[in-house]
Amino acid sequence: MANVSDSQTTQSLTGKAIGLSIAGWLVGYLVSLISSILFFVIGHIVPEKPASSGVMAATAIYGVVFAVVGAAIGASFYRRFALGIGAAIGLTIGVMAMWSWYQTPNLAHWSQLIAILLMTPAAQLGAFFRRSDV
């Protein structure tokens, strides 16, 4: 009887871990995504057009900060898998930037480069701060 109870507990913990990890990934990515959309809308920045160095620098700083914040929030959902959640958030940011680049081959790609080269590793860094060794 003890084995059945232990097995059910393990399965429920595994289900809970998976659920919390997926929720963390989704919330963390949405924090980064929504903050980026708001930045472009409020700043009247068109990411498909060439931009000045100042706009690119501000976008990079803002994007990195919110990638770190989003990953830290997402990784807080299940700290044991924080690095995996951060990797999933970073991977999603990178894949979406590559997809956007593919969809707009003849337009400026500075915002996608920022996402791929800076925001993707920043997401992993944000999760690193929230990890738990327990």
pLDDT on residue 131 = 76
Confidence at residue 129, expressed as pLDDT on a 0 to 100 scale: 86
Q: Which tens digit of pLDDT belongs to each residue from 39-93?
A: 999 999 999 999 999 999 999 999 999 999 999 999 999 999 999 999 999 999 9
CB 22 within 8 A of CB 80: no
Out of 6-15, 93-102, 123-132, least confident range: 6-15
> pLDDT confidence of 22, banded at 50, 70, 90?
very high
Which positions ≥6 away from 58 have C-beta within 8 Å? 43
The angle, 0 to 180 degrees and rounded to 10, between the axes of the packed helices 120-130 and 2-42 is: 130
